[in-house]
Amino acid sequence: MGLFDRVSRRVKDLVSQADADLALQASMATAIELAATRYAVDPGAQWSPGEPLKLLFAGYAGSRNTGADVRVEEMIRQFRHLLGDDLAELSILTIDPAMTRGYFRTVRQLTLPKIYPRFITEVVHGVHGVIACEGSMFKSKFANALSTLMVGALGLAAVENKIAVGYGGEAGKMDPSLEAMVRRYCRDALIIARNAESREVLGRLGVESRAGTDTAWTFTPAPRSRAEAVLRKLGWDGEKPVLAVCPINAFWWPVKPDVLRGAAHFVTGGWAESHYAGPYFHHDGPEVQERQDAYLDGIAEGVTAFLAETDAFVVLVGMEMLDRRACDALNTRFRQPFPLLISDEHDMYEMVAVLRRCRWLVSSRYHAIVCSMPGGVASAGITMDERIRNLMVDRGTPELALEVEDPELGSKLLHTLRSLRDDEAAVVDGIERCVANNLVRMGQMGVDLVDHLRARHPELPIDPRFGGSGDPLDHLPPLNDDLRAVLQRHS
């Protein structure tokens, strides 16, 4: 152990207040309480008839996380469909505008600073409502700072008597401090959750929720010809079936703040491998590396065995920029390296187009599976948490969800790949039925949203076709031909 490690651990033992997560949560809670006090004399922007409804989409765009960007893109398209561009003035948070350039048409992009409580307080003060749009909305699995942002934005809107909606998000295991914030500041928000398990978590905290789903289902990617051009550039011959494999860094979550290590990194450049951003670092150490190695070894074993009996073109897919490291590490385990498709080099339109041009998919990324499903791609998951597991249950194929820490991952993955190959027709039929069901659920989310907006602002001139007992499918943004065909086959 190096000098900086020893000093860091010693000081952390002695000075518990160095926990930047708790400091951020305390700062955000203070901002909400002060906003509640200020509301009596300065309510901020309040909607009046005749003006557009100003809504802020609070999330974490800008990290080139394909799934997160796709779900928000479709959320925005649905809102624009329901409200019309004349009635809605939308804005969105991004951590890097260069990475979201060309995304979220007609929406004003606001750069989110690393220390955000004061910034988000003033932004919410100037809008009529907040739509929390992060999928992992209330979880400590990845980063408390992200969920603190969601809670903070919703809480600020609620205390200023504004629209506060969590749209298509998920709730899971939370640290006690985060759980307390959700219980205190989200009780006046409407959360439309993407699965029943999340609703159970929220219900225990006294937070109202309604049934929903993810919002990525309606996405239209780049044309098939563009996907084939990308694959050919990667070495595909145009004939072989394509197998996409999406690995992740399965064990370096959650991201945690370490002020002392952050200062040392700034001065010396140390801990570069585990550094995320600012004072935040991935979980690291020999045990983490051993577990990651075993996970990648299992994937390599299963894929290699499958290729020995099935001729296929393999592409390793990084759905987020951070996944490049996992793809590179996995590639060292094959006799010949496979081509990479990483989101730092391809936008979401190309990424999803390639996924839908594949024949088979094995992924540890939830949204790689979701985004491939409308293309009828036979898919399976290797999961680190409940999201893929819940999705496979929803599809009626729980056996297609493997676990990242399964000691028999290699042999089980081979069996799973054989199932995707040999039972492809049945798997795809179940996938299409699941897509059709989720399109209806997403449409119902639109119904519930319109009803909620009307209840808050009865004079809001929303098209009378929407809300109430209207057809959920009418509440979806315009669908492409493939999705319309899926609905026709499974209506």
Q: Tell me: do 198 and 111 sit in the same domain.
A: yes
Which residues does 122 contact at the CB level (< 8 Å), separation at least 6? none
Q: Tell me: do 162 and 233 sit in the same domain.
A: no
* CB 407 within 8 Å of CB 386: no
User: Stretch 122-132: mean pLDDT, rounded?
Assistant: 98
Q: Tell me: do 112 and 186 sit in the same domain.
A: yes
Q: Tell me: do 267 and 352 sit in the same domain.
A: yes
Total domains present in the chain: 2
Dihedral sign computed on CA atoms, order 483, 484, 486, 491: positive
- Give the CATH number for residue 43: 3.40.50
pLDDT value at position 257? 59
* CB 124 within 8 Å of CB 130: yes
The string of pLDDT tens digits covering residues 14-28 is: 333 347 788 899 999
Check pLDDT > 90 for residue 274: no
* CB 188 within 8 Å of CB 153: no
Q: Is residue 446 part of a domain?
A: no
Q: Tell me: do 234 and 193 sit in the same domain.
A: no
Burial class (CB in 10 A: 0-12, 13-18, 19+), 278: middle
pLDDT value at position 261? 58
Q: Is residue 444 part of a domain?
A: no
Q: Is residue 361 part of a domain?
A: yes
The string of pLDDT tens digits covering residues 150-188 is: 999 999 999 999 999 999 999 999 999 999 999 999 999
- Give the CATH number for residue 251: 3.40.50.2000
Last residue of a domain, one of 189, 211, 233: 211
Domain span at 94: 16-211
Last residue of a domain, one of 372, 398, 422: 422
Q: Is residue 443 part of a domain?
A: no
Q: Is residue 156 part of a domain?
A: yes
pLDDT value at position 282? 52
Q: CA-based Rg of the chain, rounded to a whole angstrom?
A: 23
Strand partners, 55: 90, 129
Q: Is residue 436 part of a domain?
A: no
Rounded CA separation 65/134 (Å): 11
pLDDT value at position 186? 96
Q: Tell me: do 204 and 286 sit in the same domain.
A: no
- 196 sits in which H/E element: helix 196-204
Q: Is residue 137 part of a domain?
A: yes
- 27 sits in which H/E element: helix 20-39
Whole-prediction pTM: 0.90
Q: Tell me: do 207 and 228 sit in the same domain.
A: no
Query: How many CA atoms lie within 13 Å of 237's alpha carbon, on the beta-carbon side?
Result: 6
Rounded CA separation 401/356 (Å): 20
Q: Is residue 447 part of a domain?
A: no
Q: Tell me: do 170 and 314 sit in the same domain.
A: no
Rounded CA separation 226/240 (Å): 17
Q: Tell me: do 89 and 177 sit in the same domain.
A: yes
* CB 133 within 8 Å of CB 71: yes
* CB 127 within 8 Å of CB 55: yes
The string of pLDDT tens digits covering residues 278-322 is: 566 655 678 889 999 999 999 999 999 999 999 999 999 999 998
* pLDDT above 90 as % of the chain: 80
User: Stretch 98-111: mean pLDDT, rounded?
Assistant: 93
Question: In the structure encoding, which two tokens stand for residue 360, read together?
Answer: 């088979």
Check pLDDT > 50 for residue 5: no
Question: In the structure encoding, which two tokens stand for residue 13, read together?
Answer: 């033992």
Q: Tell me: do 133 and 23 sit in the same domain.
A: yes
Q: Tell me: do 304 and 385 sit in the same domain.
A: yes
Whole-number Cα distances in Å, 367 to 68, 88, 152, 250: 8, 28, 25, 15
User: Stretch 374-382: mean pLDDT, rounded?
Assistant: 97
Check pLDDT > 50 for residue 10: no
Q: Tell me: do 201 and 305 sit in the same domain.
A: no
Last residue of a domain, one of 422, 455, 475: 422
Q: What rounded mean pLDDT belongs to the chain?
A: 90
